[in-house]
Amino acid sequence: MATFLFDKIIFGPVKSRRLGVSLGINLLPTNVKVCSFDCIYCECGRTPKKYEEKAILPKRAEVRERLEETLKNMVANNQLPDVITFAGNGEPTLHPEFPEIIDDTIELRDKFTPNARIAVLSNATMLHKKSVFNALLKIKDNIQKLDSAFEDTVRMLDIPNGSFNLEKVVKQLESFKGKVIIQTMFIRGTFNGHKIDNTTENEISAWLKLVQRINPSQVMIYTIARDTPINTLEKVPLHQLNSIAKQVRSFGFDVQVSG
């Protein structure tokens, strides 16, 4: 199925299902995906195992310049964003200047659009880096992925590159002490001859226990809405997402559902 890459450093604003009017920041190359996961449902396609040429990331100064220019134009046109979102063609926290870029973004947000939130959509694989962890504590919407409580399921859905230990990731998520939003993609289908379904009773029960351990400020649950690189995946019906959300709310958590 067709997938796409973001062709700019600053993109949008777009209407996000979960965040509102979102101005996007892509800290990865515009011509190739760079990520520590190879999620089989990613709208940006699969993560290359090898790169034909070295991936070039935008410099901190360039990101700041482009963001400042865009925010000035948005203010002039009275079209302010609800949120400035780090997303794009892979994992934003892989950028070596990520903490400094967060500081620049906070400064520019405060100057031009002080009511806008700053969000980072992350797969939680770089939380072991203290500078990344501390940078994420500075923003309002620290959104971290947790697609399953079972490492085998994570490896099937998200296909981590390099070393990965789910228990270590969960402990790092706990370390936010509630200053984190958990997002989970619910999906079913088949991949490489294996059945995939993280909505089973066993999956949901174990996932709920991890949510309680992490104690996030909010839980975002959603399913596929755009094309995916694998055509054997199925969208989970909204009524089932709402049923899962009801269980999460029973533990006192705020939940956002996107079907």
pLDDT in tens, 87-101: 999 999 999 999 999
Separation of alpha carbons 61 and 38, rounded Å: 29
Whether 241 contacts 52, CB under 8 Å: no
Structure tokens at 6: 């973001």
Q: Is the pLDDT of residue 17 over 90?
A: no
Summarize pLDDT for 163-218 with one digit per residue, the tens: 899 999 999 999 999 999 999 999 999 999 999 999 999 999 999 999 999 999 99
- The pLDDT confidence band at residue 6, using thresholds 50, 70 and 90, is confident
Of 49, 82, 69, the residue nearest 9 (C-alpha): 69
The CATH architecture one would assign to domain 10-258 is Alpha-Beta Barrel (3.20)
Q: Is 90 left (phi over 0), alpha (psi -120 to 50) or beta?
A: left
| In contact, 47 and 53? CB cutoff 8 Å | no
Q: Are 86 and 92 in contact (CB under 8 A)?
A: yes
Instruction: State how beta strands 218-222 and 181-185 pair.
Output: parallel
Residue 241 is encoded by which pair of tokens? 């997402």
| CA dist., res. 51 & res. 149, Å (int) | 31
CA 239/CA 259 separation, integer angstroms: 9
Q: What's the whole-model pTM score?
A: 0.95
As a whole number of angstroms, the distance between CA 123 and CA 102 comes to 17
Single-letter amino acid, residue 233: L
Helix pair angle (166-174, 201-214), 10° resolution? 40
What span, in angstroms and rounded, lies between the C-alpha atoms of 198 and 202?
9
**pLDDT for 3:** 67
User: How many C-beta atoms surround the C-beta of residue 44 within 10 A?
Assistant: 22
Is the pLDDT reported for residue 114 higher than 80? yes
DSSP secondary structure of 107-157:
HHHHHH-TT-EEEEEE-STTTTSHHHHHHHTTSSEEEEE---SSHHHHHHH
Mean pLDDT (whole number) for 125-137: 98
| DSSP-assigned letter for residue 93 | G
Share of the chain above pLDDT 70, in %: 97
